[in-house]
Amino acid sequence: MAFGNGDGKPGGGIVRAARVLATADSVAHGALFALFMWRTISGSGFRLMQGLFALAAGLGFAAGLGGSMLIRYGGRTKIRTLGLYCVAASTALAGALLVMAHWSGD
């Protein structure tokens, strides 16, 4: 028996949830990028560290966006699975950056 959204597509609910998570992830990475860039420009804290965190937020944004596109256009191939892993990695990176934002705060 295939689990999913009822139309015979296995994992349809997981794919939909991953795409929604990727969207929320993109918003989080955008906010974290802006925060770390602001801290880099304003000179708050250690500038090099803040700049590296901003770069990581940009890479996390790219991973989430790329993962979402791989999920959407990957069909029923291993490419879709790679997209799911990209979204998961992006989510984990957003969580780590949130901790770093608190730790390296003003």
The pLDDT assigned to 61 comes to: 96
Mean pLDDT over the full length of the chain: 87
Bridge partners of 4, per DSSP, are: 10
- pLDDT for 15-62, tens place per residue? 889 989 999 999 999 999 999 999 999 987 788 999 999 999 999 999
Convert the chain into a string of H (helix), E (strand) and C (coil).
Answer: CCCECCCCCECHHHHHHHHHHHHHHHHHHHHHHHHHHHHHHHCCCCHHHHHHHHHHHHHHHHHHHHHHHHHHHCCCCHHHHHHHHHHHHHHHHHHHHHHHHHHCCC
pLDDT score for 1: 37
Query: Cα–Cα distance between 98 and 24 in angstroms, integer?
Result: 14
For residues 15 and 70, what is the distance between their CA atoms, to the nearest angstrom? 11
Closest CA to 21 of 56, 77, 57, 71: 71
Given this model, what pLDDT does residue 74 score?
86
